[in-house]
Amino acid sequence: MQYRRLGRSGLQLSELSLGSWVTYHTQVDTKAAKEMLAAAKDAGVNFFDNAEAYAQGQSEVVMGEAFKALKWARLDYVVSTKFYWGLETKGLKINQRNTLNRKYLSQAIDGSLKRMQLDFIDLVYCHRPDLHTPIEETVWAMSDMITQGKALYWGTSEWSAGDIRAAYEIAERHHLHKPVMEQTQYNLFHRQRVEDEYSRLYDDMQLGLTTWSPLASGLLTGKYRDGIPKGSRGARDDLSFLRAGLTDEKKNAAVGQLSAIAKELGGNVAQLAIAWVNKNPRVSTVILGASKLSQLQDNLGALELTPKLTPDILARMDEITQPLAD
């Protein structure tokens, strides 16, 4: 396992990390979370990603209980959470959901700290842009979290390059804590934002990337080439919005071609897809997701494939996937 600086900060993150979206509380209880966190740490992983909205706060509870049981030194791991969606999913909840205003953010961080049983959270993100709150208000609120010692670094998730730059410039103008990182989706079929839209931000503000969905919600595992398996992510009613993408015929055919390349390199297509993301020097860490220990261990096998991705191999992968990527 290698470690990379998070953007312009001095904080170092493991090149592969572990996230809790979809899995914690719904598929992974505290006992299983503890087992996977321990296995990840044994492999060198030091960053664990979460969000307030995952399982309506219960994902944070599960991870917090697992941390408490593991009794790790606080310096040994980095943990994140994200704010925007809120915990309430029904009814008109003013200032409690789909917002980044100061009132919501100041209370959201306190809720996450309580659920995770932590004194501070290393990385906090604005989970989506808020079209109704001035960016300046959000920047002040996020900077205040750091000033108050409740968080160490802040960033954005799925923000446009223009909004990230605006937030950075506001912080610089007012001598506030600037955004350090962006968490965006990045995989062989979803590339434009990382490779094109953000391209000038890497040099202009040394933006760090903590990328999610390296397997395109499971498409790049190959498990959907013959339809949707029972018990898979694609079979869940609450994730039905993923099905069209998971069953795309052209993309699944491309996955078949990628599988052949993976076999040449002594791995599988999931490991190849993760290694491809990991190969990008702009990526600070690749966030993995796993509902079982065996999945996590298999995904960590991408570390062995990463150095095998020569320019020729990368060109072959691009030829297969770029025409299908957005």
Decide if 224 is catalytic: no
Q: Are strands 47-49 and 16-19 parallel, antiparallel or unpaired?
A: parallel
Contact 79, 118 (CB under 8 A): yes
* Nearest residue to 13 via CA among 287, 301, 243, 251: 287
d(C-alpha 277, C-alpha 223), whole Å: 20
Give residue for tokens 């979803």.
190
Beta bridge partners of 285: 210
Contact 138, 154 (CB under 8 A): no
d(C-alpha 12, C-alpha 210), whole Å: 12
Q: Give the pair of three-digit tokens for residue 259.
A: 């599988």
Handedness of CA 309, 311, 315, 321 (dihedral sign): positive
Measured in Å, how far apart are the chain's first and last C-alpha atoms?
A: 30
Cβ neighbours for 281, distance < 8 A, ≥ 6 positions apart: none
d(C-alpha 186, C-alpha 274), whole Å: 10
Catalytic residue among 54, 125, 153, 198: 54
d(C-alpha 127, C-alpha 40), whole Å: 24
Give residue for tokens 């296995």.
39
What is the maximum alpha-carbon separation in the chain? 55
DSSP 156-200: EES--HHHHHHHHHHHHHTTPPPP-EEE-B-BTTB-HIIIIITHH
What one-character DSSP code corresponds to residue 24?
B
Active-site positions read 54
